[in-house]
């Protein structure tokens, strides 16, 4: 049996029942990693001896009759921008190649406590800045479905790995689509949880500015919605090191099975294939008993997009730009330089004004989502980009326009789920499901109904493997 093909849910159940050992699962996962990672460069650091030792510890705990965690023995990858003890938190930077974490970040610690076996560290662009995954330290990550397409970013290694069967669940982070877009580009599912749902903090690094503190979240990528749900439950356990963490229940009160479909929110232009995917998802939801109503627009998105950019650019931009110069990463420098005029034009009180206005928009969206429990919108206005699109100013502008929904939802603090639905040739396509704050359960319920109508084949064997 090729255990690496099984879902996290299935693996955890089999290990718990004693049908297969955690060590067998880990060994098979390592074999899969060795077989395909050379063609992908999705995992950039791993230690087979530690992986097997952690799996053996799960088997020993089961032999002693101890209760096993929900992810006991499940191979999970972690992103190189999160602290994992004994590994460098590189964030795709040569500047941080020796920044070895002494302790696990809260999300990594939660995965360990849930019994996950940490299989390897996944790649990210330098500074985790882009929707493309390449850097001067670890190199370029390929999309297993089509090497000519971006694997997404910044959790491109996570998306590529889980799509190719390297681990059953991948950890990612998202401040402007960095979980949702790799899931979209690689043809898997990915959840950006509510702000405050999953604890985060890196002891290895300085405290982040207020913008990233309020917008950056960790979340799971997986090949099934059930595994996304399982990953969320494990990652969301409490940790006192994150003062923003909220003890909200994973299941909220009953809500009407009502979906608002918006094809072009904020006036976003979409290609015909994206519209077709949205209408197909709406039909799947209706077939499952959901009421779907098409609406013309949502509460403000363009302004939310501007707030996200202000909180990003106005809080430490000069320091990041100087670090990019020291790093010498041309793509990061090009992206930052494209936004430099906007950053330098910000008024001294721009962050205060953005935070004030953020509350107004969050309130408007909260009221809207109370009336429309689930919102169905594009992930991107386009199919996954050709790899390297953002190497020119024109490409950067095109990408940021297409990714309006990636950027604008971040400062609102609400959950958003990418659901992959099919292929257009070799290119994945999917939709985005949004709900009110701490209502990931509604995103996942709608996601399961959409998933039931069909998804691309996965895991996939990459070209050249």
Query: Given pLDDT bands bounded at 50, 70 and 90, which one contains residue 463?
Result: confident
Query: Given pLDDT bands bounded at 50, 70 and 90, which one contains residue 464?
Result: confident
With beta carbons less than 8 A apart as the criterion, state whether 77 and 170 touch: yes
Residue (of 297, 290, 294) closest to 450 by Cα position: 290
Considering the chain, what is the average pLDDT of its residues? Answer: 98
Measured CA to CA in angstroms, residue 234 lies from 71, 237, 267 at distances of 7, 6, 37
pLDDT digits (tens, 9 = 90+) for 381-436: 999 999 999 999 999 999 999 999 999 999 999 999 999 999 999 999 999 999 99
How many helices (H) and strands (E) the chain has is answered by: 16, 13
Backbone phi and psi for residue 94, each to the nearest 5 degrees, phi listed first:
-65, -30
Residue in 105, 160, 178, 224 annotated catalytic: 178
pLDDT digits (tens, 9 = 90+) for 102-122: 999 999 999 999 999 999 999
Rounded-to-integer distance, Cα 324 and Cα 114, Å = 36
* pLDDT score at 140: 98
With beta carbons less than 8 A apart as the criterion, state whether 97 and 88 touch: yes
Tokens at 306, concatenated: 């501007």
Residue in 105, 128, 154, 380 annotated catalytic: 154
Q: What DSSP string runs through 7-42? A: -HHHHHHHHHHTSS-HHHHHHHHHHHHHHHHHHH--
| DSSP code of residue 110 | H
Q: How many CA atoms are closer than 13 Å to the CA of 267, on its beta-carbon side?
A: 4
Cis link prior to 459 (omega < 30° from 0)? yes
266 CB-near residues (< 8 Å, 6+ apart): 297, 298, 300, 301, 302, 305, 404, 405, 408
Query: Given pLDDT bands bounded at 50, 70 and 90, which one contains residue 315?
Result: confident
- pLDDT over threshold 90, residue 148: yes
* pLDDT score at 14: 98
Cβ count near 291 (within 10 Å): 12
Domains of the chain: 3-451 (3.90.1300.10)
Strands 291-294, 189-192: pairing is: unpaired
- pLDDT over threshold 90, residue 456: yes
pLDDT digits (tens, 9 = 90+) for 234-248: 999 999 999 999 999
pLDDT digits (tens, 9 = 90+) for 35-69: 999 999 999 999 999 999 999 999 999 999 999 99
* Catalytic residue check, 154: yes
* Catalytic residue check, 178: yes
pLDDT digits (tens, 9 = 90+) for 341-360: 999 999 999 999 999 999 99
Q: Is 285 left (phi over 0), alpha (psi -120 to 50) or beta?
A: alpha
Query: Among all chains, which residue has been given the structure tokens 């610690």?
Result: 109
Q: What DSSP string runs through 244-286? A: T-----SS------EEEE-SSGGG----HHHHHHHHHHHHHHH
- pLDDT over threshold 90, residue 181: yes
Residue in 21, 79, 105, 380 annotated catalytic: 79
The number of angstroms, rounded, from the C-alpha of 276 to the middle of its chain's C-alpha atoms is 24
Q: Which helix (H) or strand (E) holds 62?
A: helix 48-63
Alpha helices in 328-349 (DSSP H): 330-344
Query: Given pLDDT bands bounded at 50, 70 and 90, which one contains residue 1?
Result: confident
Tokens at 102, concatenated: 């002494």
């Amino acid at each position: 049996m090729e255990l690496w093909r099984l879902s996290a849910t299935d693996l955890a159940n089999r290990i718990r029942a004693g049908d297969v050992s955690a060590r067998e699962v880990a060994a098979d996962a390592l074999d899969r990693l060795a077989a395909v990672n050379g063609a992908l460069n999705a995992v950039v650091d791993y230690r087979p001896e530690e992986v097997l030792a952690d799996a053996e510890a799960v088997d020993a705990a089961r032999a002693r009759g101890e209760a096993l965690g929900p992810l006991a023995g499940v191979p999970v990858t972690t992103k190189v921008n999160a602290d994992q003890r004994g590994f460098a938190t590189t964030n795709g930077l040569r500047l941080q190649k020796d920044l070895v974490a002494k302790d696990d970040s809260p999300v990594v610690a939660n995965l360990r406590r849930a019994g996950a076996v940490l299989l390897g560290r996944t790649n990210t662009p330098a500074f985790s800045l882009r929707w493309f995954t390449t850097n001067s330290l670890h190199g370029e990550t390929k999309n297993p479905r089509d090497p000519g397409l971006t694997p997404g970013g910044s959790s491109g290694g996570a998306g590529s790995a889980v799509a190719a069967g390297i681990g059953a669940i991948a950890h990612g982070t998202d401040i402007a689509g960095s979980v949702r877009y790799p899931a979209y580009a690689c043809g898997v599912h990915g959840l950006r949880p509510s702000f405050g749902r999953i604890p985060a903090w890196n002891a290895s690094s300085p405290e982040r500015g207020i913008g990233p503190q309020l917008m950056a979240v960790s979340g799971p990528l997986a090949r099934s919605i059930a595994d996304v749900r399982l990953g969320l439950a494990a990652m969301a356990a409490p940790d006192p090191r994150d003062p923003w963490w909220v003890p909200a229940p994973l299941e909220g009160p009953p809500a009407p099975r009502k979906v608002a479909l918006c094809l072009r929110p904020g006036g976003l232009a979409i290609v015909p294939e994206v519209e077709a995917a949205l209408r197909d998802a709406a039909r799947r939801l209706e077939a499952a008993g959901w009421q779907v109503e098409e609406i013309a627009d949502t509460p403000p998105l363009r302004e939310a997009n501007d707030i996200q950019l202000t909180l990003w650019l106005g809080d430490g931009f000069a320091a990041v730009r100087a670090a990019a110069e020291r790093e010498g990463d041309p793509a990061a420098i090009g992206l930052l330089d494209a936004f430099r005029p906007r950053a330098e034009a910000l008024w001294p009180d721009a962050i205060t004004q953005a935070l004030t206005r953020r509350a107004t928009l969050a309130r408007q969206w909260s009221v809207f989502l109370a009336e429309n429990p689930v919102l169905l919108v594009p992930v991107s206005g386009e199919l996954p980009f050709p790899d390297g699109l953002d190497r020119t100013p024109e490409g950067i502008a095109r990408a940021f326009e297409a990714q309006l929904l990636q950027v604008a939802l971040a400062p609102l603090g609400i959950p958003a789920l990418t659901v992959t639905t099919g292929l257009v040739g070799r290119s994945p396509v999917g939709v985005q499901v949004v709900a009110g704050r701490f209502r990931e359960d509604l995103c996942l319920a709608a996601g399961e109904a959409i998933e039931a109508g069909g998804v691309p084949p996965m895991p996939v064997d990459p070209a050249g493997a």
